[in-house]
Each structure stands twice: as C-alpha cells, then as structure tokens.
Chains A and B, each alone.
Chain A
Amino acid sequence: DAGITQSPRYKITETGRQVTLMCHQTWSHSYMFWYRQDLGHGLRLIYYSAAADITDKGEVPDGYVVSRSKTENFPLTLESATRSQTSVYFCASSEGGQSTDTQYFGPGTRLTVL
C-alpha cells in the first residue's frame, strides 16, 4: 500500500537498551522527519533528512541517531534508551523541504522505556 508506515507501533524496552524505530514511505519523497510528541510539549523535531545520506539535527537530537541509506527508509535509533525518551514518535515525509510542501505523517510508535 502506498503511504508512510512505522514499525513497531508499540514498544516497551528497558533503560540502557538499544532500540530502532523504523519508517518507510512509498512516495519517493525527498524529505523525511522524526518528531516526538510529549504531553505539554507538542511535536518536537528530532532529526530530518533532505535526501539519502543527508541528515540534519532538529530541536531535540541528543540521544538519537539516524541514517538514510535508501530514500524510502529513515530509521531512528536510541543507542541507550533512557526513561525521558518515553514518548510517541512520529515519522513524516514531504516532497520538498519548503514549508509549503505538505508533511505526511505516519501513525506513530508509542515507546515506553522502563
């Protein structure tokens, strides 16, 4: 199916473990984004990517690593998960990087770090 998907949808892990959240889009959009949504903070940008092998930090990048070896995939890795990284994570993609380019969001991954 065309669109943007995230996996897993729910994940429980323990402090110190490595976790990778997957994001896949079928539109061949150039830009992809990772956000986290927390109560009282709204949506905050973690990392974004303008194309394969091009990534850039957002507002809250600490503790996260991204890669983009293929246009359609943009995995987000928490190298050593902390309780403060308990959140809902949204991946998004857009055709271009201008604000007029609509961002299309995935359904989200709810991550709990114990």
Chain B
Amino acid sequence: DQQVKQNSPSLSVQEGRISILNCDYTNSMFDYFLWYKKYPAEGPTFLISISSIKDKNEDGRFTVFLNKSAKHLSLHIVPSQPGDSAVYFCAASAESGNTPLVFGKGTRLSVIA
C-alpha cells in the first residue's frame, strides 16, 4: 500500500500563475516531508522541506504547507516559470528515527509560456 500518494500525474499551468502540487500520506509516524525536483536525464535535487512542528515553510517562490490532521501537504510555486517544468516528488520520513525516505510517484509540471 502506498504510504505517500501524489494523485495527479501531471499538471499544466500558465507562466506567471500559481502551481499547486499535492501530496497525501497515510503513515502517522511520518514527521518530516520533502519535495524533490527532477529534470529529464538528471537525478532529483532537493527543493524544500518541512517538519511536522510547522505548518508552512517558504523559500523564495516555493512554499510548502502541511496539514497534519488531513495528512496532506502541498507545494505552491508563485509565480510559475517555464524553468519550473519538471517532475516533482514528494517524500516523507520519520525524523525521529533512521527510517529511509518514502517517495511518491511524482507529478509532472508543465509551465506554459
């Protein structure tokens, strides 16, 4: 059973608008969440993270929101740029232990100029 779910395989957004990528998790032990970004023919790169003690973390155009009661997190990109077109992976882990990251299937974001 998938512990980290990204239910939208793809998302298309106009340049300058907001991109919202969603992620749901089922394991209540998860308390640390990350987003990775992946361009074609490259490895994933770390984008932003959030601990369960927070409900929001911001880094420039990227903001991650965490709703623990709903076991849901989202990544907002404002404003979206064509260079943001990539696959975005949500990942989760139990920070309190040495548990490996569990990744979602990814969402392919296309930002149209």
Q: Are A92 and B103 in contact (CB under 8 A)?
A: no
On whether A100 and B100 interact (CB within 8 A), knowing A41-B105, A105-B45, the answer reads no
On whether A42 and B43 interact (CB within 8 A), knowing A98-B95, A103-B101, the answer reads no
Q: Are B43 and A99 in contact (CB under 8 A)?
A: no
Residues of A within 8 A of B (CB): 4, 33, 35, 40-45, 48, 50, 58-59, 90, 92, 97-100, 102-108
Residues of B within 8 A of A (CB): 6, 32, 34, 36, 41-46, 49, 51, 89, 91, 93-95, 98-106
A residues near B99, Cβ cutoff 8 Å: 99
In the docked arrangement, what's the CA distance between A9 and B64, Å? 33
Q: Which of B6, B34, B44 is in CB contact (< 8 Å) with A99?
A: B34
Q: Which of B41, B94, B98, B103 is in CB contact (< 8 Å) with A42?
A: B103
> Residue on B with the closest CB to A56?
B100
A residues near B93, Cβ cutoff 8 Å: 99
B4 vs chain A, min Cβ distance (A): 8
B residues near A41, Cβ cutoff 8 Å: 105
B residues near A90, Cβ cutoff 8 Å: 43-44
